[in-house]
Amino acid sequence: MATAVELQARLEALRKVRANGLRSIQYEDIRTEYRSDAELAAAITDLEQQLAAASGRRIRTVTFSTSKGV
């Protein structure tokens, strides 16, 4: 498993790629191309969760569902 420092570096790289509107990244000798922004966002979320687990924190997700009552 990667260290917290490595996970943080990967996370920052993915965030930069997404902010620039790109869909591919090369980290060390591995090149990864994401098919959509949603797939890239999922990879970022996964890294955030791995980083939280490595540092002993838990990320909680709250989802709301609303309707008009019809």
Q: Phi, psi at residue 13, to the nearest 5°?
A: -65, -45
The residue that leads in pLDDT, 12 or 1, is 12
CA distance 13 to 58: 22
Task: Please give the model's pTM, rounded to 2 decimal places.
Answer: 0.71
pLDDT over 70 at 58, yes or no: no
Average model confidence (pLDDT) for the chain?
Answer: 85
The pLDDT of residue 26: 86
- Per-residue pLDDT of 10-53, as tens digits, reads 899 999 999 998 888 887 788 989 999 999 999 999 999 888 88
Residue-range domain boundaries for the chain: 4-54
CA distance 61 to 5: 24
Q: Which of 61, 36, 35 is nearest to 48 (CA)?
A: 61
